[in-house]
Amino acid sequence: MGANFSVSGNANYTMLSGFTPYGITAYPPPGENAIAVPVGDTFAILGTEMRPQSITHGEIMLRSSGNGYIKIGADGTVTINGATISPGGRVTSR
Q: Where are the domains of the chain?
A: 6-48, 60-89
When pLDDT is averaged across residues 67-72 and rounded to a whole number, the result is 93
Q: What angle do CA 61, 67, 72 make, to 5 degrees?
A: 20
Instruction: Please give the pLDDT value at position 48.
Output: 84
Query: What residues contact residue 7 under an 8 Å CB cut-off, 6+ apart?
Result: 13, 16, 34, 36, 43, 45
Q: Whole-model pTM?
A: 0.69
Instruction: Please give the pLDDT value at position 12.
Output: 66
Beta-carbon count within 10 A of 13 CB: 17
User: pLDDT per residue over 21-41, tens digit each?
Assistant: 888 888 788 788 888 888 887
Paired with 86 in beta bridges are none
